Amino acid sequence: MPVEIVVKDACVTVGEGPHWDEASKTLYYVDIYANSVFRCNSVTKKVQKITLDNTIGFVIPSKKGGVIIGLGQTISHLDWDTKKVTVLHEVDQDKPTRFNDGKCDARGRLWAGTVGMENPPGIIEKGQGSLYSFDTDGSVKKHLEKLDCANGLAWSADNKSMYFIDSIPRCIYVFDYDLNSGTIKNQQTLIKFEPETESILGVPDGMTIDTNGKLWVAFFFGGRVVQFDPDTGKSMSVIHMPAHRTSSCCFGGTDYDEMFVTCSRYGCPDEELSKYPLSGSVFKQIAFGNSTIGEGPHWDEASQTLYYVDIEDKSVSRWNSATGGVQKIKLEKTIGFVIPSKKGDVIIGYGQTIARLEWDTKKITVLHEVEQDKSTRFNDAKCDPRGRIWAGTMGLEKQVAVVEKEQGSLYCIDTDGTIKKHLDKVSISNGLAWSADNKTMYYIDSIPRCVYAFDYDIDTGTPSNQRVIVQLPPDTEKTLGYPDGMAIDSEGKLWVACFYGGRVTRFDAETGKQIQTVEVPGLRTTSLCFGGKDYDDMFVTCSRHGCTLDELSKYPLSGSIFRVTGLGIKGCPAVMYEG
């Protein structure tokens, strides 16, 4: 996933503490040892800087106006217009420390930690730091002491857990949190990074949390930001940065779907600066693509727009091919597919329901709900040439790509709004396609690694005579993985996305033989569709859900959407729902 530069050479020492202010659409950040605080207006791109007479560890806007800063060993208020500094509290006067990272909880209390002074860069006296909270009534309380390097803070969505990083022991801790009183208890080590990872990851530094409750941690001396699942402690995804000393991160932008990342150039030797000349800049993740399971690409010919979903992110997006703009809607349940409707809205597989979504108002109207007696969700779907929706379900994942078998079914939603179940005991209902003469329907169940064919009655929407046309051999599991989404081209050949295969494979529907392969820079390839003005482009989605660090190192673009050109083959237009 590419990054763009927000402010080149933003900091001459340690860039830190990014904070997105929603009201002004402004990014605040600090340069610790340059004693400077900045704000960058996202509209005008103008950067304003104030330099003071001590280190600045963090900056947070105040509801009273101005900003709160960690100035040396003080918590101070800075009036931006007048540059007047008012000291609110001073701590640790008996030892040489400074404030480092700081963040507010959901009630607006400030939590901030201290660290011993560096001498030389990157070397500090251990056990000198503490963690404080500053309540909204102005009172201060010390919660932890004997810290080495107090750093990243985050809170769970239910405000019952607080996450905290002490960098030197390379630990992320979790505490039970009482939001009403602002107190912590029951400290536990959530993640302890093993010594052998230090040369790769470096040390954990700043931290933020996303809407799915996953932690994003900047790694100093690691050149990356890594996403972790706090329930398992396992890494989920990684963003490689063009700077080795990555320091902190925050979400921002109009929809909070951009990540701003700070880094340091303090103490960088010439060799490191030659390799990472952008050290000290502020970066922005341009587009996250799909943060979990990218799926269900659908090309809308009328608007020249690509629709797709991110299943576990519970979001549906559309990409305008003319402007390059992406619009995204976040909902409350998993979204398995998206198909435009002739009424102007879209149909989505929303949890266990088929629902209408009005894009402009975000209004959801449930049309059907299924399988209320078991734990399933809708997965892939497609319309037949008459505009009926065919959509399948699957059991919920126990872990990535591991489901209880035979919990799913295949349904048809007719243009009059009626629904009918056609198959049951399906494991993972997936790709669908129809032959040009409408006499054959193709269908994938991923777990048995089969592509099936049915005789199809286009007038009644009825399949019959199920048979296997492609059975992936057991010895191909490591190369082809599992068949997932599917499309058909104008020559009647089937294109199948291969999950864990990193490819899209073309099959002859008559012989079942492989006839062409397109390798994809994402191992967990999920689905595809044809699109573009002449339907000679192929759009491919993939997943980054559950990817290990090793896998993400090899496939850093996992979760992206790819466009394949120059195939010399045209696809068949997708059909919208006619109901």
Residues at the binding site are: 295, 377, 379, 397, 430, 484
Annotated binding site for substrate: 377, 379, 397
DSSP symbols for 492-527: S-EEEEEETTTEEEEE-TTT--EEEEEE-S-SBEEE
Residues 6+ apart with CB under 8 A from 205: 151, 152, 165, 167, 217, 218, 219, 220, 246, 247, 248
414 is catalytic: no
For 183, the token pair is 């107190």
Q: Dihedral angle at the C-alpha atoms of 79, 84, 88, 92, nearest 10 degrees? A: 120
Q: How many angstroms separate the Cα of 375 from the Cα of each of 101, 372, 398, 406?
A: 42, 8, 11, 12
Q: How far apart are CA 426 and CA 395, in angstroms?
A: 9
For 287, the token pair is 């587009």
Dihedral over Cα of 447, 453, 458, 459: its sign = negative
Q: How far apart are CA 449 and CA 426, in angstroms?
A: 12
427: phi > 0 → left, psi -120 to 50 → alpha, else beta; which? alpha
Which of 337, 344, 292 minimizes the C-alpha distance to 559? 292
> Which of the following is catalytic: 484, 489, 536, 537?
484
Which of 108, 16, 106, 10 minimizes the C-alpha distance to 56? 16
Give the three-class secondary structure for 32.
helix
422: phi > 0 → left, psi -120 to 50 → alpha, else beta; which? alpha
Strands (E), 23-64: 26-31, 36-41, 47-51, 56-61
For 530, the token pair is 């044809």
Tell me the one-letter amino acid at 526. T
Find tokens 């932008």 and name the residue.
253
Annotated binding site for a divalent metal cation: 295, 430, 484
| Residues catalogued as catalytic | 484
